[in-house]
Structure formats: C-alpha cells, structure tokens
Structure 1
C-alpha cells in the first residue's frame, strides 16, 4: 500500500499544475493581444512619420520659392508673382510659339513649356523678364522677334 503522504503530495502537485496552466493560458492570450496592438501602433507611427516627412518637404518647397521672391522685393521694390495658366494665356493671346516666347524672355521653348505645365518655376531674374514681356504690346513683340 502506497504511502498516503506521497499520494497527497502527487495530488496537490497535479492540481497546482492544472491551476498554473489555466493562469498561464490567460496570460498568453493577453500577451498575444498586447503584441498585436503594439505592432499596429508601430505601423501607425511609421505611417505618420512618413506623412510628416512628406508634409515637411512640401512645406519647405514654397519657403524656398518665397525666399527667391523676396530677393525681388529688395531689388525692385515690387514682388513678382507667377501663374502658369496666365503665362499660357498670354502666350496664346500673342499667338506665339513657346520657342518665340522663350526668345523674348531669354529662355528656351522647353523651359516655357515646363513653366506652363507647372513642372518648374522661373527664378527672380526670369520673373522680371516675364514682367517686361507682359508689358509689351503685340506690335512691340513683333518688332522684337524680327531676326
């Protein structure tokens, strides 16, 4: 006949393992849930950082353009603005090709196309040239284009 103490010890040990296993299962489930939420938060932080970098880049671009426009302020006393649609409309009004209009401004025809499409912006000196061309009449433009 086995010793009652050893049977009691074995039974207590079995019940303790059963209780510990139940507690560990609950902790494992909580741990998995926490890890999943941590991973989701990391993804959100990464996406927000990328968005912040994009926003910083776009905010930096107009600031550099404004700085070049401010140089015009100190040189001539007036601030020059640029609009791609107004440039295209003025060129169409004069009936000029981009190459001819570029000749008047002192740039290539391809540069005029890029300005009109918004792919590039004129520098401060070029803005002054554009303003000078805008002040010319159709007759004066024709006189200047005679080669």
Structure 2
C-alpha cells in the first residue's frame, strides 16, 4: 500500500509540473513582449527628449530679440519686487490703480495688495512687473491704450 501512495504522489507532482510549465511558457512569452515594448518606449522617450532640447535651444536662440528691449542691468544685481517702487512708478505714470492693473494684466485688488505690501507677486507675474518698471511714461500709456 505504501508503494501505491508514493506512486500517486509522483503522478500528481508530474501532472502539476506539466500544468505549471504551460502557464510559465505563457508568462515568459508575455514578459518578453513587455520587455520589448518597454525598450521601444524608452527609445521613444529618448527621441522626444532630444527633440525637446533642440526646440528649447531654438527658442533660446530666438529670444535675444526680446532681451534687446530689456534695459541692461548691472551685472550681479538681482531684480526684486518692491511695493514702494511700484506705487511710485504708478504715480509717476499718472495712472490710477485700475489703469496700472490693466497695464500689468492683473486685477485692481491684486495691485492694491501688491502696493500695500500684503502680497508679493508670483514668479510668473514678476516678469510683467519688471517690464512695467522699465517702461517710460509714454510707452506705458501707449501700451495701456493698446490693451
């Protein structure tokens, strides 16, 4: 009788190995397909990154025309926001807060908060501030009329 039990165990393990082999073959095939797909996606990402870098370089080359309009700054000097300077500039332009806000492309409430020092502009808005601070009175009024 013990021989029968041992034979049964051997047969069960043989059949189990056979079934597992089928499943493993399917998994290996899928794994190979996934690896090749991942490799192709990595190549595509690498190509797109190269295209992005070249596009950024092209944009950087085309922006010096805009940089020529910007007045030259002293080297090593960091531009910063100053609420008092903004208010003084608005008053030197002879503009109301609403007009200056329109020139900057912001709301009157935002300009009031900037001028009162309650809030500082976001980094995305600082460039508009610097452009406005570099303008002269005529240029500012002309820009306000066109907006």
- TM-score exceeds 0.5: no
What TM-score comes out, normalization by structure 1 length? 0.45
What TM-score comes out, normalization by structure 2 length? 0.45
User: Larger relative contact order (C-alpha < 8 A, sep ≥ 6)?
Assistant: 2
